[in-house]
Amino acid sequence: MLRKIRIILASIFFIGVTLLFLDFTGTLHAWLGWMAKIQFLPAVLALNFIIVAVLLLLTLLFGRVYCSVICPLGVMQDIISWIHGKTKKKNRFRFTYSPAKNWLRYAVLVLFILGLVLGAHSIAILIAPYSAYGRIAGNLLAPLYQWGNNFFAWIAERAGSYAFYSVDVWIKSVSTFITAAITFIVIGILAWKNGRTWCNTICPVGTVLGFFSRFSVFAPVIDTDKCRNCGLCGKQCKASCINTKEHQIDYSRCVACMDCIDVCKDGAISYARRYGKGSPAKPDKCQNPTDSSAADQGRRAFITSAVIAGTAVTAKAQEMKVDGGLTAIENAEKPERQTPLVPAGALSLKNFSNHCTACQLCVSVCPNQVLRPSTSLMTFMLPEMSYERGYCRPECTRCSDICPAGAIRPVTREEKSSIQIGHAVVNLDNCVVNTDEVSCGNCARHCPAGAIRMVRKNPDDPKSLMIPTVNEERCIGCGACENLCPARPFTAIHVEGHEVHKTI
């Protein structure tokens, strides 16, 4: 029964989080957005101490249920492992116990935290579980979902229905797509062969929660009086944490999947209190398989990691206080911006990079195709704005509504219309008024802030053509002018980002 409950809850969370990355209409985000905000790392970076405390308390009470129920990457590994188990009958019992590689687990955790503290986010976010799954869903699954939608739109159009509408399917970043594909292949192979290897050797969140799950009140425990040493529990354990010879369970790696309970035919394993009166566990046999010296070494490593993590959180908290046309035309080339553009609500480039997990959720939900992953080495995979396919409409706040890590703070439509994320810069050498000697004014007509006005090219000639000028104090950097400028291949007007956003 416990296993079935776990599978049902895991399915709900996995499908819900996946739909967040697939739903391009934004309909589901109002209902399911909370599933992204209770992910462990986004909650830490958003300094959402309530959620972090609840997740740690949940682990102290019931073990690593976060990893087997809430974490989408963990559930994905279970699905891959389950599929392999169904390919052949003998594959159902293919796991064996292996000692914990604590030196590797804590070394990766320390490097991960150092990466966040020292600003090497591109390295750290590669192994962050929620971010890794977000990139997999957004880059590998979303195109398939969109192609399916377009197929139904094609059928509906011929039936005279408008229940579906076609969307553009395109790769927003080749490098991020390749990274997502490699991540899926590596984790998929590990899950196919060995179950939860990634969770218990590489994943930094799994390592943190594994330390707390050592002391969980409830967990699978072995009743040695009932056990007849059949070994089925160890062969079914995808975490490889049950030492059947010694009747021991490594609770730092156990993800509370309940598979061992389900497979035991003698009722020798039960999910019960580990301590206190009435506990079926025998203190001398059913403890972690690590000896005291190894346990002490693991505790010292975790304490070191915790000190670094505490420093990182404190530093981030301080940073938050002080940081404040209808005619088909040639595609425009992306301009070389001296300062990248990030959405309203990001506060500043520094605040954005310090909190963003590069999960690509904002990229997936952007209805105007403005956001896409960065290809720059220093900000690799972090979202940035570009206006070749659309512009940032002042009334749209989807990215700020959905961001789970606090990288893009929630803003209202009224607030967004007054936040200056950048300003437009005119290059008259590219303007069609000069190159083709034709009248235009497209940028001024479509500027929602009224920051662009047209002036005579020759002030002394009342019949001369008019060219644009920008009032930087009124410009909010939405990119409507850049997106709608007809000059090609480089537009005559582009937006330069601001390192620190301001309200105008």
pLDDT in tens, 2-42: 899 999 999 999 999 999 999 988 888 889 999 999 999 99
* Biggest CA-to-CA distance, the chain: 103
Which segment of 26-40, 215-229, 321-335, 392-406 scores lowest on mean pLDDT? 321-335
What pLDDT sits at residue 124? 82
Mean pLDDT of 268-285: 67
Amino acid at 287: Q
Please give the mean pLDDT across all residues of the chain. 87
Phi, psi of 494 (to 5 degrees): -140, 165
Q: Residue 247 pLDDT > 80, yes or no?
A: yes
Whose tokens are 């403005």? That residue is 370
Whose tokens are 């993800």? That residue is 255
What pLDDT sits at residue 141? 95
What pLDDT sits at residue 304? 55
Q: Which two tokens stand for residue 465?
A: 């053509």
What pLDDT sits at residue 321? 43
Q: Which two tokens stand for residue 238?
A: 């995808």
Measure the CA–CA gap between 91 and 124, rounded to whole angstroms.
Answer: 34
Mean pLDDT of 351-368: 92
Amino acid at 276: G
Other residues' Cβ atoms within 10 Å of the Cβ of residue 431: 23
What pLDDT sits at residue 319? 45
Q: Which two tokens stand for residue 438?
A: 């034709």
**Residue (of 125, 498, 135, 173) closest to 344 by Cα position:** 498
Q: Residue 371 pLDDT > 50, yes or no?
A: yes
SS3 81: helix
CB 259 within 8 Å of CB 237:
yes
Report which of residues 276 and 9 the model is more confident about. Answer: 9
Whose tokens are 């220093």? That residue is 378
Other residues' Cβ atoms within 10 Å of the Cβ of residue 333: 11
Q: Residue 320 pLDDT > 70, yes or no?
A: no
Query: Which pLDDT band, with edges at 50, 70 and 90, does 382 fall under?
Result: very high
What pLDDT sits at residue 284? 40
Query: Which pLDDT band, with edges at 50, 70 and 90, does 280 fall under?
Result: low
Report which of residues 407 and 310 the model is more confident about. Answer: 407
Measure the CA–CA gap between 358 and 374, rounded to whole angstroms.
Answer: 10
Other residues' Cβ atoms within 10 Å of the Cβ of residue 343: 28
What pLDDT sits at residue 462? 84
The pTM for the full model equals 0.84
Per-residue pLDDT tens digits for 122-172 = 778 889 999 999 999 999 999 999 999 999 999 998 888 888 888 888 888
Query: Which pLDDT band, with edges at 50, 70 and 90, does 460 fall under?
Result: confident
Distances (CA, A) of 148 to 94, 158, 297, 496: 36, 16, 52, 37
Per-residue pLDDT tens digits for 113-132 = 888 888 777 778 889 999 99
Q: Residue 189 pLDDT > 60, yes or no?
A: yes
